[in-house]
Structure 1
Amino acid sequence: MDNLTHSLVGAVLGQAGLKRRTGLAMPALIIGANLPDIDAACFFWLEGAEHLGFRRGITHGPPALVLLPLVLAGLLWGWDRWQAKRGTRPKDRLPVHFGWLYALGFLGALSHPLLDWLNVYGIRFFEPFSSAWSYGDTLFIIDVWLWALLGLTLWASLRSEKKGGKWRRPAWIGIAVGLAYIGANWAISAGIKASSHSPYGLQADLIPSPPPLEFWKRDVIYRDPETGRWMMIDYSPGSAIPDAVPVAQGQPCAIPDLSALRKEDGELDAFLFWSRAPFATRAQGGGIVLHDARFYDPRARDRFSIALPDTPCEEPAGE
């Protein structure tokens, strides 16, 4: 998910009562909820599509979830001591307990991969022990309804606290409603995957992709068993299922055996490692362009595609 969602989750957890456990609890929760995304720094040293094979991996796995909150706790504890020595430590700050700082930082960090799992991009939960991708197919990567829910929850809790009311209650209600919202969306996607009465039938590679705003709908992506092309259906519960259309409207190309080229091309290797629904189209200047049906943009070469100008476009076998 996006970093605003992660931050709001950390803040709401604090308003549920955890911020009273130690001084600097809110920074521990909010920063901890964003810690795994330090892998975004890979843009400084990786080329092109190589970031696709690096993100949501090592910094989201068990070793990082244990070590990163430890570093955060040390920094926050040191900050508190430094302020105390300078005489700038806020008088109303609770005593800082290192153990609680670590525990809250760990809780915040743990929430991060769980939320990231919810979208179609996927995550590698057990990196470096396993590089297997896992996908929740439940929420769009930026869910404005979750923003609204978490934002309203945080506002109501802070407002109640300012008035001396039961400020933990709005946070707990918001958490419960948020979990129910996520559960309902998961049920929609799970129902599509389990259905055997649809035009696309049961398929292992079927992807129910949630759209940005209409959370109850799904862009159902699946591979046609006859042509091998990736198809899409605009699914809406309770409505007649429309005909499927190809994800790519351009000239399709077969994806040849790229095993040897992967060893020489780091971008290609990263792309194929990351890609869940790969397909190829003819490039304007010759060769092919590899895309992923989850993030296909026909208007331009974007960061979710890779060009192979020296690979000829051959007609797919099923065409």
Structure 2
Amino acid sequence: MRRSRKGLAACVLAANMPDIDVFFGWSPWAPLAMHRGFTHGLVGGVLLMPPLLAALLWLFDRWQAKRGKVFARGPRMHFGWLVTLCYLGALTHPLLDLQNVYAVQLFSPMSGAWFHTDGLFIIDPWVWIVLGLGIWRRRRSGSAVPAIAALLVVLAYIAANIGIARLAYEAPGVRADRIFAGPEPLAFWRREVIWREGGMIGKGRYDLLRKADALISREPLRPDNMADPLVRRAAAANLEVARFLAWSNLPMAGIERRGCTARVTFRDARFEGPRFENSFSASAEVPTDGPGCAGR
């Protein structure tokens, strides 16, 4: 970057810095152990971490200079611009993560509430294509106009997708406790709508081009089983389950009884099916009541 030495490193590292939480799953402090929690929030990821990164880059630059490193080309070190670039880079990460169904805890650690706009698929190909074309055209023309135009197109695309998500939220015609409308990878006008209402999980398909005000198909409602006494007991059985439930937005439970015990498997309704068979779940075994069983 032309504003300060280490400017490019500041942007790249700051943009990826919030995902440092994957190394702190062991932390006894729940907001830090939570993926997309404290490090993705406005306090940790946006307010506190960028100046720390800028300070580390500045110290690294000073260390290089003391060891005789000669910076023959490029801009001089400017700490103010370094901090600014770190803030800009860090801001992009939670803002982009906010756009998909995985959601972020924007106000962690003050609040564990999850926020999402459902504006983008987790890796949206249209964003990559448009930005890639903008950079390519900028390099060929030597003008910043194509890159700026590409960025504006992407912002308009995200805004339009958020609007589609709002239409999809209304399509089931229910008073949902929680609702998600995840876009498909290429056909962004189609959505998988998943919601919870009164302890029941609903799923349906939405297609803006076929029917703008209703779902084109829906599955039968299923109980989430979260009020079952065995499930409530299992919810407090171990730390793995507790952390999963703190993360899950649409928890549901399956119960498998085996004699005097029951294995309760918790999943999230957003992530079901063969692709997620061995992920996005947590289990616990609890004793059951019945003839010959002690229970508790």
Indicate the TM-score class for this superposition, using the shorter chain for normalisation: 0.7 to 0.9
Aligned position for 1:8: none
Q: Could you tell me how far apart the structure 2 residues matched to 1:37 and 1:120 are?
A: 17
Cα deviation digits, residues 187-241 of structure 1 (max 9, x gap): 1001222x3xx4544534222122223211100112366xx44222121113154
For 2:79, the equivalent position in structure 1 comes to: 98
1:173 corresponds to: 149
What 5-or-longer segments of structure 2 have no aligned partner? 289-296
2:183 corresponds in structure 1 to: 210
- SS of 2:138's equivalent in the other structure is helix
* Aligned residue among 102, 105, 111 for 1:124: 105
Find out whether 1:281 has 2:261 as its counterpart. no
Task: Give the C-alpha shift of residue 263 in structure 1.
Answer: 4.4
Q: Give yes or no for the alignment of 1:190 onto 2:163.
A: no
Question: Please, what TM-score do these two structures have when normalized by structure 1?
Answer: 0.76
Cα pair distance change 1:245/1:259, threshold 3 Å:
closer
The reply to whether residue 243 of structure 1 matches residue 217 of structure 2 is: yes
**Which among 233, 247, 259 is matched to residue 204 of structure 2?**
233
Query: Matched residues in 1 for 2:137 and 2:221: separation?
Result: 43
Determine helix, strand or coil for the equivalent of 2:202.
strand
Q: In the aligned structure 2, how far is the partner of 1:262 from the partner of 1:201?
A: 28
AA paired with 1:242? I
For the 8 Å contact 1:28–1:104, the answer to whether it is kept is yes
Give the AA of the match of 1:141: I
CA contact 1:24–1:96 (8 Å) conserved in 2: yes
* Higher-helix-fraction structure: 1
Task: Give the counterpart of 2:61 among 65, 77, 80.
Answer: 80
- Where 1:105 maps in the other structure, the secondary structure is helix
- Number of the residue aligned with 2:89: 108
- In structure 2, what is the equivalent of residue 33 of structure 1? 15
1:240-276: per-residue Cα shift (whole Å, max 9, x none)? Answer: 543311588xxx7723245555444111111222221
Q: CA deviation at 1:125?
A: 0.9
SS at match of 1:72: helix
Which residue in 2 is equivalent to 1:6?
none
Does structure 2 conserve the Cα–Cα contact (< 8 Å) formed by 1:22 and 1:97? yes
Tell me what 1:16 maps to: none
| Structure 2 equivalent of residue 55 of structure 1 | 35
The answer to whether the aligner puts 1:153 opposite 2:169 as a matched pair is no
Pairwise CA distance, 1:64: 4.2
- State the SS of the aligned residue for 2:270: helix
Task: Using CA pairs under 8 Å that are at least 6 residues apart, name the structure with larger relative contact order, 1 or 2.
Answer: 1
Letter in 2 for 1:107: L
Counterpart amino acid of residue 305 in structure 1 = S
Looking at structure 1, the residues matched to 172 and 224 of structure 2 have their Cα atoms a distance apart, in angstroms, of 25
Verify the 8 A CA contact 1:217 1:234 in the aligned structure 2. yes
* Alpha-carbon offset, residue 304 of structure 1: 0.8
Q: CA deviation at 1:28?
A: 0.9
Q: Does the aligned pair in 2 maintain the 1:219–1:232 contact within 8 Å?
A: yes
Superposed CA offset, 1:89-135 (max 9, x none): 34221011011101110111122111111111111111112222112
Instruction: Tell me the distance in 2 between the aligned counterparts of 1:33 and 1:40.
Output: 15
Distance 1:96 1:213, change over 3 A: same
Q: Does the alignment pair 1:307 with 2:289?
A: no
3-state SS of the aligned residue for 1:209? Answer: strand
Q: Secondary structure at the match of 2:205?
A: strand
Aligned residues: 279
CA RMSD, Structure 1 to Structure 2 (Å): 3.0
Q: Which letter does structure 1 place at the counterpart of 2:145?
A: R
